[in-house]
Structure 1
């Protein structure tokens, strides 16, 4: 019961302090408001930017291991790029070899892509990402078909001229007519549209997007590009099991199988790279962690100023309420009651400044920033409230300690 009494008394005194000298209190709390705004705004912008950048790399898939010539990572001691360039690319024979033998993969696919121009009547779409895929491609990568359907196994095996296209291609070629069932021309060949992919939206970077992607059967793609020639190479990718932490089992298994398939001797190094899709996202996360720390340090100086403002309010409050403190103590109030009363009051005042700062950050989320969508997360709101509460406790501790140690007689006579 006493804790509720403390909270109520502290809230009442904090409200009286606000009303008694509104200008002084607002100016004192401004430091906390600016400090919380600076830190939470940095955290919010960094989180939003990180989320948007990571979403731009969704084409790499999740929990996916790719067979490439070049590794995603490179560092001191790595041999020159021209040695990677001389490595042989993956091929359909290796895909079949892995498909028959892999035990630690949920699914495996092979695909190839190239930029192409798509036409329909007098309309055309330049710069489309034309991608040849197999039936299991949808088991490895996300292929959200919102209208029509995905390929059947028969269409893939027979290399039928059918296509699943993105929203930008649909908007450019369909006009007012329904896109499903419409014929489009790719490299001089007619294809029938059987599916439409879900709209992904604009990203921060010019990276492959589902919106300008056109999927066709792998065999149809091979007929047009003769894979392995003209710089167009297939990519093998396997989706790991959820129980395989870090895809270590899948990586070890694929390494052994590929070495065996390519006839590498035990003393020879790998002539392929196994790239995890999470590597780039983890690297991005590490960079933004550093940015967040730097922003927090800068915002911390503003909060420090705000802490001095809270301390100033509390010293003045103790001075003005010295006779009241004496009366409370003469009526039996314990030292801890007075201490907690002023600590709660300092915390309430600091929370008011913190809430104002969080409110400013929330207002920031409504400002259009192009492709960057700013989102204030619950985590950042909690961080802001905890920071402002901590500043209030730290700033109010010394004034509260002074008030709690006052002699009741001297305090009453000080009026």
Structure 2
């Protein structure tokens, strides 16, 4: 019975579509434009947010950094002059935290600078050089494509070994396997023991693994002065999965650093503990506002489309009043008439919705540089759901009018 009802409703909908094709297409443009506007904005926002967050992966996940400057100091004025006078982190503070932190999955220290590397007549300028310790992989993800990571002995002995990115490998050793080859940093020879996985171009000018160069922390210290008035190292700790919001880790790090730096109870912290999630959450908040604007922009278009479908249905009810009277006189129930027209309104709205989704899908093939546009399954379901809702909302009143018609009065109108 249900299948028969749906089939009859589908037939009536197709007949209405064919008999007034031009009017139907013009009326459906509103739904098509509305669904396109909303889904296009959401798709672009989701893709942009995903690309931005992917470009911030160098900050790590569930990571707290020890810095002089906080990522944010709230709505008040940013007192940078006070933060500037704070002491930088030190290697002794790293070992102090490494030995005592119980709520951390790993602790690391690293120093960073840009430099030029050479191999014979080949060179790569502005390589992103990091000096790291053995536990660096416990805090940050270091995917190795070829070779291996540093051994603990190589780190402790400050050996001149290195892990390089794909861009550096291709520039220094074109068409050659880079592992085992030698190159120079500031005149010192280093041997390649690993190549990082290719990451590709980021959306913004953020540090990329493709142009990264990693050496043991001690070897970095031989090349560049690390410490006060030199390159400042960064201490970072990764929280455990069961530490929601990294509250336990943050509290423990605060207490240990205050003890290490000899701060009195009345003195404020002379360091900042920055969570990597802060920037990602800030990005998410910005895109939430943009998504709201997308709802407003597309909402007006969908509203116009809903009025267009409602107009079609009112005209359709009037044109088929006689048929409705005949159906009811032959025993058709009110729900049968209601379902016919409601199905027709929803069917027409879905056609407009699918047309809008198809346009968005076609737009994903347009090249926007490093920004990859992907129409997600979530947004497809949203478009279909919105189309169905608009169809039901637009058709419910005309369908109810048709279902409540008196069969005798309806037949007299023929």
Task: Bin the TM-score by the shorter chain.
Answer: over 0.9
Structure 1 stretches of 5 or more lacking a match?
Answer: none
Matches within 5 A, 1:9-408: 9-77=8-76, 80-408=79-407
Compute the displacement of 1:21 (Å). Answer: 2.1
Q: Residues 11-31 of structure 1, C-alpha deviation per residue, up to 9 Å, x if partnerless?
A: 211111221122211111111
For the structure 1 residues 16 and 231, does the alpha-carbon distance in structure 2 shift closer, same or farther, using more than 3 Å as the test? Answer: farther
Structure 2 stretches of 5 or more lacking a match?
Answer: none
Q: Does 1:7 align with 2:3?
A: no
Compute the displacement of 1:49 (Å). Answer: 0.5
8 Å CA contact 2:323–2:411 kept in 1: the answer is yes
Q: Distance in 2 between matches of 1:280 and 1:59?
A: 12
Q: Residues 300-337 of structure 1, C-alpha deviation per residue, up to 9 Å, x if partnerless?
A: 11111111111121112112221221122112222232
Q: How many residues align?
A: 414
Compute the displacement of 1:385 (Å). Answer: 0.7
Q: Distance in 1 between matches of 2:206 and 2:251?
A: 30
SS of residue matched to 1:301? helix
Q: Distance in 2 between matches of 1:230 and 1:88?
A: 10
Compute the displacement of 1:371 (Å). Answer: 0.2
Compute the displacement of 1:230 (Å). Answer: 4.8
Q: Residues 232-258 of structure 1, C-alpha deviation per residue, up to 9 Å, x if partnerless?
A: 111010110000000001000100110
Q: Residues 144-172 of structure 1, C-alpha deviation per residue, up to 9 Å, x if partnerless?
A: 00111111111111110011011111111
For the structure 1 residues 367 and 79, does the alpha-carbon distance in structure 2 shift closer, same or farther, using more than 3 Å as the test? Answer: closer
Deviates more, 1:373-382 or 1:14-23: 14-23
SS of residue matched to 2:235? strand
Q: Distance in 1 between matches of 2:382 and 2:359?
A: 15
Compute the displacement of 1:229 (Å). Answer: 4.5
Deviates more, 1:222-231 or 1:233-242: 222-231
TM-score, normalisation: structure 1: 0.98
Q: Residues 256-314 of structure 1, C-alpha deviation per residue, up to 9 Å, x if partnerless?
A: 11011111100000000000001000000000110111011011111111111111211
TM-score, normalisation: structure 2: 0.98
Compute the displacement of 1:79 (Å). Answer: 5.5
SS of residue matched to 1:83? helix
Compute the displacement of 1:78 (Å). Answer: 5.2
Q: Distance in 1 between matches of 2:77 and 2:258?
A: 20
Q: Residues 49-69 of structure 1, C-alpha deviation per residue, up to 9 Å, x if partnerless?
A: 010011111000011111111
8 Å CA contact 2:339–2:399 kept in 1: the answer is yes
